[in-house]
Amino acid sequence: MKRLENAFVTLNGWALILMLSAMALIVGANISLRYLTGHSLPWADEAARYLMIWLTFISAGLILRTGGHVAITNLQDALAETGQKLLRAGIVLILLTFFGFMVYVGWQYAQRMQYQVTPALRLPFIYVYAAMPVGFALLIVHLLLIARPFIQAGEYKPLHAFGVEDDTLPGGANG
């Protein structure tokens, strides 16, 4: 199971690297062409925008794994250990419900947009809007993979699981 989880996280990370690289190359080429030739790629801004949308949704699960999303822990800190575990279990259930709902809503919306095409790329909008259900589905998988340590001890996956050493960041992994 651990190997499968590591492969999943690695693939998710590589997908982000490829999308960010493609976005940087497209924007860089467009800027270079604009200043060198006076002409730009008509589809570059649109492609970069859609890559940014996909990056946002696909990266949310990896950020969730490390506790990188905004959290207010005043209530949790005020509770006894059993209360903290119950609160964290409730949070996991609420998040799973919300993420599942967003997969459903995102898929419905993407299907409604399948016959419209983007102005410059002429790409069906379903490919753009599919970022939402795919991203939330990945959030469900990531949440399920970290749920037990989070509920039991409020722990997230350390950054060194992604090839980053804790001491490279100020304050360590959670700091």
Residue 64: which domain range? 2-161
153 part of a folded domain: yes
Q: What is the pLDDT of residue 161?
A: 52
Q: What is the pLDDT of residues 143-152, one digit of tens each?
A: 999 999 999 9
Q: Is the pLDDT reported for residue 167 higher than 90?
A: no
The DSSP annotation for 78-117 comes to HS-HHHHHHHHHHHHHHHHHHHHHHHHHHHHHHHHTTT-B
Q: Domain count of the chain? A: 1
**DSSP β-bridge partners for residue 117:** 124
Q: Is 132 exposed, middle or buried (0-12, 13-18, 19+ CB in 10 A)?
A: buried
9 part of a folded domain: yes
Confidence tier at 159 by pLDDT (50, 70, 90): low
169 part of a folded domain: no
56 part of a folded domain: yes
Q: What is the pLDDT of residues 18-55, one digit of tens each?
A: 999 999 999 999 999 999 999 999 999 999 999 999 99
11 part of a folded domain: yes
Minimum mean pLDDT range among 15-24, 110-119, 131-140, 151-160? 151-160
Q: What is the pLDDT of residues 65-95, one digit of tens each?
A: 988 888 888 999 899 999 999 999 999 999 9
- Please provide residue 53's backbone torsions phi and psi, each rounded to the nearest 5 degrees: -60, -45
Total Cβ atoms within 10 A of residue 103? 19
Provide the mean pLDDT of the chain.
90
175 part of a folded domain: no
173 part of a folded domain: no
172 part of a folded domain: no
